[in-house]
Structures are given as C-alpha cells and as structure tokens.
Structure 1
C-alpha cells in the first residue's frame, strides 16, 4: 500500500508539470499577441490621423516696390513742348488714396496764336502698381491682366472715329498706341493714348489737342509722336525711382 501510494504521488506530480507549462505557454502567447495587435492598430491610427502638410504656393516677387513722382515722370522740357501754355507748368496732381499704388498728373493749356486762332493741348499720365499675391498671382501677372483691360477700355471709347491700335515698340515690356478723333465742344479733337506695362506697373498716357477760332486741328502724327515721347519718359521714370 505504501509503495502504491508513493508511486501514485510520483505519477500525479509528473502529470502536473506539463499542464502548468502548457498553461503558462498559452498565457504568454495570448498576452504577446494582444500587445502586438494593439501596438499595430495604434500606429496605424496615429499615421492616418496625422495632418498632411499643405504645400505653400510661391509667386514671383513684384519687380518694382514704388512709383515715381508722377508730375516729374515726364520732363519739364517735354511737357513745355507738348503743352506750351500750360495753366500749371509743374502739372496738377490727381487725388489718390494710396500714392504707393496709383497716381496721376495732368497738364492743359490754350495757346493763343492771334489771327491764326488758338491751339488747345491736354496731357495726362497715370500709374498703377500691383503687388504679388499668393491667391491673385505675381505683380507682373496682375499688371498684364490690367494692361489688357485698360487697353480694351481705350479701344471702346464712345464716339471715337478712325480708331487705330498699333504696337508701340521700345516702351516697357509691352505697349500699344490707340489713335482716334473725337468731337467735343463743337471742335474736332485728335487723340493718342499709350497703354504700357513695365514689370508690375501699368502706365496710361493720353495726349490730345484741338484747334479753336478757325485754327486747324493738330495732325495725328504730331499728337502720336508727342504721346510716345512722353510715355517713354514715364516708363523710364519707374525704373529710376526703384534704383
């Protein structure tokens, strides 16, 4: 009996060992698997939740940072020749709420030639500068868009006769001259408008004239030549102001 009891104890002890090992092994495998699964899910969620960087749009910097003094953009010698009897020799400044972005100046006068009648002349120059903007485009692109719009406005002048548009070479990056005749105050006026762009600046220049008291109207050539001369000086003044 004693031998049988001792033998039975040894058998039960040996049988218990693998059961414990298997239990321990199952428990360890289960824990390892749970941790691995949890770690993978967390990394996946973290990766999907991370915000994607938004690419920043860059635009070309505006070429010119400021405008010239508009009334000095055309030389005194030129304004005196184009408008001989100007009421204000130094020009009349147009009001502007933002002188850094837009400005204008004009000269006008009536030259009395006695029995030959009188000659009236008007010269006007305006500048529009555009900044670069990530949503609107570079200053150059914006100026190019507005160059086209301003040219279309001049070409759409109501009552204009014999309207012609010509490319003006050597005036900024792009330029056009628009010539036409217009009847005003019972007189025939001859007009030449130059629409030009230099970098991010649009230059609008208009020169016109008429003969009074029997005087002949000025020729289209003289008005056009005068407008182009003044426009070249105005465009050049932009670069000089930004040196």
Structure 2
C-alpha cells in the first residue's frame, strides 16, 4: 500500500504535463506571443491606420474646382441704358420717352425696357417702330465649377440660336457684329404679324458675365413701306454699343 501511493503520485504528475502544455498552447498564437499582447498591438495598428487615413483624406470643399469671381456685380437701369436722343431717333413719336420697364423679380440679374411709337405722316403713310433692350447677369456657380463668364457664353449661344429659329421668320440672316462687346451677332429677318410685314433686327452681345439683347423692328401703315433691314441695323448697332457702355458705368 505504501509503495503504491508514491508510484500513483508520479503517474498523475506526468499525466498533468500534457494538459498544461495544451492549456498553454491554447492561450498563445503559433508565434508564441500571448493573444492579449497581440490584440493590444493590433488595436494600436488599427488606430494608427485610421488616423493616417483621416490625415490623407481631402475635405470635400477642397475637391470642388475654384471659379473666378464675376467682373460685373450690377446691372444698369434698363430704361436709362440708352440716351434720350437715341430713343428719339430710333422711335419717333414714342409714347413714353422714359420707356416701359419689364417685370423682374431680381433686378440684380435681370432687367429690360421697351419703347414704341407711331410717326404719322398723313397721306404719306405712317411708320411704326418698336425697340426693346434686355440684360441678363450671371453669377459664378462654385457647385458646378462654372464662372459667370462661362455661363454668359452659354446663354449667348442659346440666344442666337433661338432668334435664328423665330417662328414665321423669312430671309433670316446672321453675321458677327464687330466692335460690340466681347462677342456679338446681328440677326435680321422679315415677319408678318397683325396683317402687316415687319422688318426685324436683333443684336445679341455679351460683355463678360452679362448678356444683352437689343431688338428693333418696324412696319409701314396706310400705304407706307416697311423699313429696310439695312437701315434698322445701321441705327441698332450704335444703340447696342451704348448699352454695353452703360454696364461699365453701372459697375464703377
């Protein structure tokens, strides 16, 4: 009995060794490092990686392309963009020399004015004239990365195309108008309305971020012939130059 007890103790001690080794193996990785230590290092690495990624990220506001500020921040008063003597010449016997302003909800970006009059020459007939000038100002759009000048250029192209496609217009002609703004196109055509033949001239011009459209038309009554397109154009060009000058004056 006494000899058996020590032998049994030795057997149990040897049997315990593999159990401890297994337990030790379960608490460490194949590289021999304890899980707790490796977990701490992994956490540090993750944090470092996260902070590094944040440092490399570019703020969304910096990704947007910068756009140039607009040159013109104001529009002239449309009804004062032409000189009184110019109105008298282009629209004899005008009903309202001060002009009739167009409706606008934002005078900083849109404005217009018109004049009309009938010059009655009795038995020689009468001449009717109508004149209109409109202004559109474009702001730079940071969200789209488009400057006010670029937006005005796009609007200029569309306005020229729209006038070319005037419904019912005949003998439509378009040509660049030199010396008017930064770019300009003069369009002319004939149009029959209210039972009369009208002659039309429209000059579309752009000065930086502002688009200007001047339309001048007329017809003859009581046997009088409608005006020649060439004569209307001859008077319209100096007039639209005045409107371009008024833009510069309004922004001084």
- Normalised by the length of structure 1, the TM-score is 0.83
Q: Does 1:112 align with 2:147?
A: no
Q: Does 1:239 align with 2:248?
A: yes
Distance in 2 of aligned mates of 1:112 and 1:237: 32
| 8 Å CA contact retained: 2:64, 2:143 | no
CA gap of 1:75–1:38, structure 2 versus 1, over 3 A, is same
Aligned residue in 2 for 1:190: 199
Aligned residue in 2 for 1:83: 91
CA gap of 1:33–1:186, structure 2 versus 1, over 3 A, is closer
Aligned residue in 2 for 1:3: none
How many Å apart are 1:228 and its aligned residue?
1.1
Q: Secondary structure of the equivalent of 2:202?
A: strand
Q: Secondary structure of the equivalent of 1:209?
A: strand
Matches within 5 A, 1:5-24: none
CA gap of 1:91–1:34, structure 2 versus 1, over 3 A, is closer
Q: Pick from 154, 158, 165: which aligns with 1:156? A: 165
CA gap of 1:36–1:81, structure 2 versus 1, over 3 A, is same
CA RMSD of aligned residues (A): 2.2
Q: Secondary structure of the equivalent of 1:66?
A: coil
Give 4+ residue runs of structure 1 displaced > 6 Å after superposition. 29-35
Moved more, 165-174 or 47-56: 47-56
Aligned residue in 1 for 2:108: 100
Q: Which stretches in structure 2 are left out of the alignment for 5+ residues?
A: 1-33
Q: Pick from 42, 46, 54: which aligns with 2:51? A: 46
Q: Secondary structure of the equivalent of 2:127?
A: strand
Distance in 2 of aligned mates of 1:163 and 1:59: 37
Aligned residue in 1 for 2:227: 218
- Normalised by the length of structure 2, the TM-score is 0.80
Distance in 2 of aligned mates of 1:125 and 1:98: 17
Deviations 1:176-202 (A, max 9, x none): 000000111221111000011101100
Moved more, 40-49 or 139-148: 40-49
How many Å apart are 1:71 and its aligned residue?
0.4
Deviations 1:51-78 (A, max 9, x none): 7123242101111000001001011110
Q: Secondary structure of the equivalent of 2:178?
A: coil
Q: Which stretches in structure 1 are left out of the alignment for 5+ residues?
A: 1-28
Q: Does 1:203 align with 2:212?
A: yes
How many Å apart are 1:45 and its aligned residue?
3.4
Distance in 1 of aligned mates of 2:228 and 2:209: 33
